[in-house]
Amino acid sequence: MKITVGSRGSPLARAQVIEVEKLLDIQFHPVWIETQGDRDKKTSLRGMDKSNFFTDEIDRRQVAGEFRIAIHSAKDLPDPLHEHLEIVALTQGVDPSDSLVVREFPLQLGSRIGTSSLRREQFLKQWRPDLICVDIRGTIEERLKLLEDGVVDGVVMAEAALIRLGQVHRPRLHLDVETAPCQGKLAVIAVKGDEEMRKVFQVIDTR
């Protein structure tokens, strides 16, 4: 069986599609899509919690019938979902924690920390009031490049992203902070009423 799959085209999104494919004895035919959120690297994400900034194009093309399922990071799904779509599986996922990735320890006073999350910024200010939070955008690779180039001294990101991209060798600190719901899990989305896809993916559904 071969299933068409819609997804963003970032390295992390591609790794997520491969992760789900490996859970099943099924071949995926991926359709990589650049979304508004991928093109717009300037708009802050701080006020966009649960928006469709990164899913709108994928949603519309899926409803139009271009592919059977879509795969997203579960924590980034809009709420509510597109009215014609539904989650048919939520995977077990990987480590749901947040990590502070740094060039080296110890983290100096007044260090600049990159994050696009208001939740993470609030934690950092309580944990280390001396830290300076910097609003950053971009893929995981682009954010790590800001760290390597000295633009920031640390970057907060999901441990799951580091695992999926093979970046666990980097010096980092696991943060004792409440994370976003379903962080580390992947969501498989189908058009409502697609019972075949529901049956195919129910074997990996952990709900």
> Which class is domain 2-93+185-204?
alpha beta
- What residues contact 194, with CB distance under 8 A and at least 6 apart? 68, 88
Interval 1-15: pLDDT, tens:
899 999 999 999 999
Superfamily of 98-175 according to CATH: Periplasmic binding protein-like II (3.40.190.10)
* pLDDT of res. 95: 97
Closest CA to 23 of 159, 174, 186: 186
* pLDDT of res. 45: 84
Average pLDDT of span 153-160: 98
Interval 84-132: pLDDT, tens:
999 999 999 999 999 999 999 999 999 999 999 999 999 999 999 999 9
Residue 26 to residue 37: CA distance in whole angstroms? 30
* pLDDT of res. 129: 98
Query: Is the preceding omega at residue 106 within 30 degrees of 0, hence cis?
Result: yes
List the chain domain ranges: 2-93+185-204, 98-175
- Taking the CA of residue 109 as centre, how many other CA atoms within 13 Å lie in the half-sphere pointing to its CB? 0
